[in-house]
Homo-oligomer: A and B are copies of this chain.
Amino acid sequence: MKRVVLVGGTHGNEWGGIYLCQKWQNTPEIWAKYPFQVETYLANPRAIEVNRRYLEEDLNRCFRSSDLANHDLSSYEAQRAKVVAQDLSGCDFLIDLHNTTSNMGMSLILSREEALDDPLMLQLCAHLLQQDALVRIYYMPQNAKDSPYLPSLGQRELTLEVGPMAHGTLRADLFFKTEQLVQTMLTFLADWERGEAKAYEGELTIYRQLENLDYPRTPAGHMRGMIHPQLYGRDYRPLYPGRPLYVTFEGLVLNYEGDETVWPVFINEQAYYEKGLAMSLTRKEQIPL
């Protein structure tokens, strides 16, 4: 492992990663102790400048191999993705720092499908789960070539999704927890490189992506309801069949109609309203280490 990249500002209004990268850029000497190069990288500087998620389209959906190869795509982010790909492709480990308005604590999102077959990734996750009670492993497998996500540029990668925090704001507790968790990751990677990493046994709890749910809508496509108060803020808590999911503006309760218990995440994330995504449903699983 030669090159580890910490990315902030893939979304220009997610300040946790942005301010952490800016802090780290002022103190590059703190990385000297690691047996690999550590870099910070602000992925969408123009979006950061205007404090918006993106200028024209979501940068974190611009990294499919076919899109990177397609020079006809003309949006600002489509251009920017090609520059970011030149800068970061093939780095050994890429950590993309995100924030969410959802109550997702310190979520490690694994989007590479082979992550659960990779001893390093499994051991890293097991280690991080020991470090902070808010850590959760969210597995949403994607074929790397088809993955639209920026971290797919790395040989290994994860997205650290931290919340709840309103976009365009900072929360000191989550800022320092994120900093701590990234340092713990780097220390673990360094120990792994040196063959000194602690080996965990037993099982790992993960939350596997099942499907995305939209808000209730009118035939014309307008929102007709909200997350039910009994579900609001309960990311990674079990949702049982028949329990309240939404409440319409008129006060009608809409229940979860599925057959199996699920564990919702990204409940009420601000940026996902425009994507028609009220929450993602996951299944809680135990993976052998």
Contact = CB atoms under 8 A, between A and B. Distances in A.
Interface residues of A, number: 28
B249 A169 contact: no
Interface of A is mostly: loop
A134 to B, nearest CB: 14
A51 B273 CA distance: 11
Contacts of A251: 176
A226 B170 contact: yes
Contacts of A228: 172
A22 to B, nearest CB: 8
A149 B50 CA distance: 25
A142 interface: no
A6 to B, nearest CB: 15
A274 B270 CA distance: 20
Oligomer: number of copies: 2
Residue of A175, A223, A226 contacting most chain B CB atoms (<10 Å): A226
Contact of A166 (B170, B250, B270): B270
A101 B169 contact: yes
Given A19-B249, A101-B169, A169-B101, A226 B175 contact: yes
A171 B228 CA distance: 8
B19 A229 contact: no
B247 A172 contact: yes
Given A175-B226, A226-B172, A249 B166 contact: no
Interface of A: 19, 23, 51, 101, 166-173, 175-176, 223, 226-229, 232, 247, 249-251, 268, 270, 273-274
